[in-house]
Structure 1
């Protein structure tokens, strides 16, 4: 049986991967995700594969379903597909139905594997692990779970372990989960923003009124009802001389219209706006002053990292996935969950104190420099080549 990673794996610093893949026989990697959309995991996989290509590897991003099949934006899918092609990678849809049945998925996956012949397959969903287990693929299989809270029974790790060689932990929280539930090794490779997100320097002060942005799909996890309650608290604090900050949310999904209706019912149309799924997030961040995260839990938020790379101080709930990334007295403020008054007070504090605002903007930029997509890609390639050399058996 393969031994677990040592305790030092938690804090092992990222190391540069200097050796480019042999151009005579480039490393081939298939990355499997559910669909191509603007979620954090999907954006990360897109950015990682572009960085793989820059280092001489050949990557293909494989999705189960076309985006509209799951109610996601066809326009966003087309834009991301164009970015993938431009980076030198490939994009392939297995064109499964919304239920992503096992047998059709295995058949379609076998066709992909026979045509592309990857050296390594990196899966980003539990369903992909199940399909891959029946695909006949004999190379290394890597699995990344992108959240700090499980969406499946913990006991399922016993079955996942029989198909997966190695896990990637995106945070200390997910590393703890692997330690507790899995018998396979893992490597800590924290998420990183695209190099497209980069500020020229720290911001000096918030505009009046302060523009606050949140980015993320409409889901129970993101807890946008708390954001709306925060907006109501901000309105109640406002005066004629000091208008309330404006809260905007970029993200689509089921429930969007219900949230807009809730905003109208509370008379908050001038304070909070749900923008739907957007393709101009860098521009939205550039025009914003603060970033707000109201989630019940996170993995290691790519959206927060992107905001920090643009110099935005962050206000966030003090939950798994936000702790450690949002550092009080350095780059942002953490507030207890379900406390809209606390979130509103934090937003007002940062927007009204120019000295603190600049300090936290500088801190946000400093934090973002700790997490680069180039380094994350190098760590992944280092892992893949190590697995290929070691020939770890897939089953106990």
Structure 2
């Protein structure tokens, strides 16, 4: 099959990492995989170096890459014309849209092949009426978690298929961890966006340093985004520079996971975060907010600790609780690894290919 996957830009976000990994699996299975970004990374303020690296990874794994338009991504007419040219040139058997804007452009371009769509979060960032307007364009939706499936079911009558996310190679640990380092290494991975609630995480880290001074730690944050300067200002204002470090874009996340002791996530909401799956496969216990997408992966007291979202003091308590429970650390690490083993790329890619083949034959 010729499979075209559509993303907003080539970035290090979870959805883009998943698409990159899936493309490699599709190519390995003998399919023609083309990943197309709607616009260059620079248009939306993303790192062009990361864009180059991600495209190179996809192409090294046998896939192809492209950028739909170099113009303003808000230009629907220009985008639709470029999309029509892409469809005529490539003649795909199936298209998988990983952004709502791509579905809109496909509708305006008059797409005639099956379209699969994934919404990668448990909340909507666009008016729900778009589901109704684009209902005839999408053949099936992929729900990446139970809560994502429930959201889709409440907004559209189109078929919904649950396919959970998966990690790429290089993360699965040989076995559980036994002890934490001193200082303990806390790691957060993800784009610096409001969804991830990094200001609260930073505040909680500063509080935890004071609440459990006998349990030294440092927090490293891998990721980039428009709010980086504001986050650094917050770190400086709290005097937390010795505790919290913003690493920026990183292409060595697997190495960072191996160096870490605990994974942290303070998001307001999630879909099924790829970075958390990578952490679980790396046998890292998790401290996270009890929100959609996360609570399907983390069981409080078993493979991590869940905290009330939005409350820095409670999140600080959760960090201290993890740091102060060395006797439970190995048990939580083993449970994290057991959970992480469920999210294999071959299972995820196989489920996608089965869906594509069924729709292409219909």
Measured against the shorter chain, the TM-score band is over 0.9
Matches within 5 A, 1:132-281: 132-239=106-213, 242=214, 244-281=216-253
SS of residue paired to 1:221 = helix
Contact 1:234–1:245 at 8 Å: present in 2 too? Answer: no
Q: How far apart, CA to CA, are the structure 1 residues paired with 2:350 and 2:334?
A: 27
* Per-residue deviation, 1:310: 0.8
8 Å CA contact retained: 1:195, 1:372 = no
SS of match in other structure, 1:61: strand
Structure 1 residues not aligned, in runs of 5+: 1-26, 391-396
Aligned position for 2:360: 388
Question: Unaligned stretches of 5+ in structure 2?
Answer: none
1:287 and 1:234 mapped to 2: Cα distance?
Answer: 21
Matched residue SS, 2:116: strand
Contact 1:50/1:89 (<8 A) preserved: yes
Shift of 1:69: 1.9
TM-score in terms of structure 1 length: 0.89
Return the TM-score normalized by structure 2.
0.97
Matches of 2:129 and 2:78, distance apart in 1: 26
Displacement of 1:339 after TM fit? 2.3
User: Which of these residues, 61, 69, 74, is aligned with residue 43 of structure 2?
Assistant: 69
Larger RCO of the pair (alpha carbons < 8 Å, separation 6+): 1
Mapping of residues 294-305 of structure 1, within 5 Å: 294-305=266-277
Q: In the superposition, relative to structure 1, how do residues 228 and 98 fare at CA in structure 2: closer, same or farther (>3 Å)?
A: farther
C-alpha displacement of 1:238:
4.1
Q: 1:359 aligns with which of 331, 335, 357?
A: 331
Q: Within the alignment, does 1:316 sit opposite 2:291 as a pair?
A: no
Distance 2:330 2:48 in 1: 39
SS for the counterpart of 2:132 is: helix
Structure 2 partner of 1:18: none
Deviation at 1:345, TM superposition (A): 2.4
Name the SS of the counterpart of 1:283 in structure 2: helix
More displaced 10-residue stretch of structure 1: 330-339 or 139-148: 330-339
Secondary structure of 1:62 counterpart: strand
Q: 1:127 aligns with which of 81, 88, 101?
A: 101
